[in-house]
Amino acid sequence: MTDVTVLHTGEGTGGLGGRGVGSYGSSHIEMTRFVIRDSALCGVQLARGDICSAGECMTYPLGGTMDLHDGEIADNPVGIHVFTEGFDMDRLCEGVVFRDNGVNVDTNEVTVPDCEFSF
């Protein structure tokens, strides 16, 4: 995706929504020149996700991936929420500016990317 703007993503019902852009279940998203601002839960999320069919759900074994270039993630409770195990966090930081998020990066690992954060 190129030249993307995602604003004011609401929480929705049943715990769904509230994420600006999400990549789940081995899907891949690449964004260049973007703004993600004012999401109810997080600006960006990478995770395994669920597969549901005929009322039964199972967690997908692989998490989503993402490459971000030249954008801004701002005014979210969490800027980026990563639950894709072993993901190279530096892929989320090429020219990306983080502004006024409650937490810029939240992961299930202790690795913190080498991003430049603006406060």
Over residues 68-95, the pLDDT tens digits come to 999 999 999 999 999 888 899 999 999 9
pLDDT > 70 in the chain, percent: 87
**Residues 119, 105: Cα–Cα separation, whole Å:** 14
Do β-strands 56-59 and 50-53 pair in parallel, antiparallel, or remain unpaired?
antiparallel
Q: Supply the pLDDT for residue 13.
A: 65
Residue pair 43/20 in contact by the 8 Å Cβ criterion:
yes
Instruction: Give the residue extent of every domain in the chain.
Output: 2-118
Q: Supply the pLDDT for residue 102.
A: 96
Q: Supply the pLDDT for residue 69.
A: 97
**Residues 40, 52: Cα–Cα separation, whole Å:** 24
pLDDT tens string 45-74: 999 877 777 778 777 788 899 999 999 999
**pLDDT band at 9, cuts 50/70/90?**
very high
